[in-house]
Amino acid sequence: MIKPHGSDELNPLFVYDSVENEALQKEAEDLPSIVVSSATAANAVMLGGGYFNPFTGYMNKADALSVAEKMHTTDGLFWPTPITNLVEDAGDIKAGSRIALKDPNVEGNPVLAVMDVEAVEEFSDDEMAAMTEQVYGTTDTEHPGVAAFNSQGKTLLSGPIKVLNFSYFQSEFPDTFRTAVEIRNEIKEHGWQKVVAFQTRNPMHRAHEELCHMAMDRLGADGLVIHMLLGKLKPGDIPAPVRDAAIRKMVELYFPPNSAIVTGYGFDMLYAGPREAVLHAVFRQNMGATHLIVGRDHAGVGDYYTDFGAQEIFDTIPEGAMEIKIFKADHTAYSKKLDKVVMMREAPDHTKEDFVLLSGTKVREMLGEGKAPPPEFSRPEVAQILMDYYQSLNS
């Protein structure tokens, strides 16, 4: 099985021992505490589940700046985006403090993790701007990832953490949320050696489905992990439970038994385009995937990134920096000429009119009016779930 990133064994930071977990929960009641940002909470969940292996906690200033600029820590570990705990004001917290990190996304702000603070450091405005530009490719505050990153504050708390729960992800998505540890175990149980991961924050239409089949066939893969983002999205994106239901129906009807598993992870979308594509690859290696499908404008938003920037960045990564491989995908669409879904670059004799192409806006309009998109675009059973959702918004 593929090794985790940066170590021989996966190092999840969740405290699985119930006695220790309970003792830490009790200790946390008397510790100084802060309600962290949603991004910091999501980082804790990812650290807890082993997705951010081999890190033992939040990065210090030198590592965060190095990762943003050069995609590696000060000691040379390859990593594409800073893992930070940023706050507006650290108050009395200083190096050597032991603190409780409280969850901003759950009522009552329960303790998410206990942290040993090794350093309290400040970013200057120029440093924040530089990191923003390097990670997101822009400092435009209209970019949802830029806005979220810069809204947290400029004071950085770094140091190791012990994670005590998985926020709302485990309770709200019990059938879907899985840690990297759990997915590795499931891959082992299936006996899969070559495993393709598919990242999604949207329901999967026919083109996505066929892209997964294509990748599996061309790579000779044993299995597919459809890995759904369950955290915060931008306004207008379809909620996770609806996506989950639609994707499960597609897998049930259109994939051979035991060839695909539907899972999810607890993280807030960065919309960081190329840098986030690399992050997606690294933490998919940690969960046991050998390949990640990277498509057109992967993890992008608006017009901030070029169509294939998220693929081209992988050509700049040093040899051996990570073990997972990329399956580079073009835009896929149904060809009326060939009567099947194809990658558009593999159909050079086609014109635009030869494909069934619908904009996201058009599809949402149709679904909201109770009209199913053509079966070449969306499986009817999947379209029905989405129609029910959009019509519930209008009722």
- Look up 185 and say whether it is catalytic: no
Q: Is residue 77 pLDDT above 90, yes or no?
A: yes
CATH number of 175-394: 3.40.50.620
| Statement: 18-170 belongs to CATH 3.60.15.10 | no
* Residue 244: predicted pLDDT: 92
pLDDT band at 263 (very low <50, low <70, confident <90, very high): very high
Q: Among candidates 281, 285, 272, which has minimal Cα distance to 314?
A: 281
This prediction has a pTM of: 0.94
Q: Which of 11, 21, 109, 201 is catalytic?
A: 201
Whole-angstrom Cα distance, residue 230 to residue 280?
Answer: 14
Q: Is residue 360 pLDDT above 80, yes or no?
A: no
* Residue 201: predicted pLDDT: 85
Q: Where are the domains of the chain?
A: 18-170, 175-394
- Look up 201 and say whether it is catalytic: yes
Instruction: Kindly report which listed range (85-89, 137-141, 239-243, 263-267) carries the lowest average pLDDT score.
Output: 239-243
pLDDT band at 159 (very low <50, low <70, confident <90, very high): very high
Q: Is residue 368 pLDDT above 90, yes or no?
A: no
Whole-angstrom Cα distance, residue 79 to residue 285?
Answer: 12
Q: Which amino acid is at 201?
A: R
Torsion angles phi and psi, residue 226, rounded to 5: -85, 115
As a whole number, mean pLDDT of residues 2-21 equals 97
Q: Is residue 380 pLDDT above 90, yes or no?
A: yes
As a whole number, mean pLDDT of residues 111-116 equals 98
* Residue 323: predicted pLDDT: 97
* Residue 19: predicted pLDDT: 98
Residue matched to tokens 């946390």 = 28
* Residue 147: predicted pLDDT: 97
- Using CA atoms, how far residue 300 sits from 149, 188, 200, 270, 292, in Å, is 16, 32, 12, 9, 16
pLDDT in tens, 225-240: 999 999 876 677 788 8
Which two tokens mark 86?
Answer: 């940023």
As a whole number, mean pLDDT of residues 182-194 equals 97
As a whole number, mean pLDDT of residues 260-268 equals 95
Whole-angstrom Cα distance, residue 318 to residue 228?
Answer: 28
* Residue 293: predicted pLDDT: 98
- Mean per-residue pLDDT of the chain: 95
Name the helix (H) or strand (E) containing 155.
strand 155-163
